[in-house]
Amino acid sequence: MIDNQRPLDALGKSINTNVLVKLKDGQTVKGRLKAYDLHLNVALENAKFDGEEKEYPLIVVRGDNVLFISL
């Protein structure tokens, strides 16, 4: 439960768990959260974009492109 937590605290507790990142262009990407910063730049391991079979070992998504992150 994430009651009384700041959003970045909840994100910090989700390191090394699978997350879904919705991008402003409508795409979604799923992967294991490895790192993030205050700008919501996120590093995802074993990342897959919806509709693609290819899995990327490590990607960095720029925070300007992030609409939301589902933990």
Residue ranges per domain, the chain? Answer: 7-70
CATH among 1.20.1050.10, 2.30.30.100, 2.40.128.130, 3.40.50.300 for 7-70: 2.30.30.100
Cα–Cα nearest to 34, from 47, 25, 26, 43: 43
**DSSP letter (8 states) at residue 6:** -
- Return the structure tokens found at 47: 């990342």
pLDDT at 3: 61
pLDDT at 51: 93
- The distance in angstroms from the start CA to the end CA of the chain is 11
Distance from the Cα of residue 54 to its chain's centroid: 17
List the chain pLDDT tens, one digit each, 71 residues.
456 778 899 999 999 999 999 999 999 999 999 999 999 999 999 999 999 999 999 999 999 999 999 99
Torsion sign across C-alpha atoms 17, 65, 26, 51 = negative
pLDDT at 7: 86
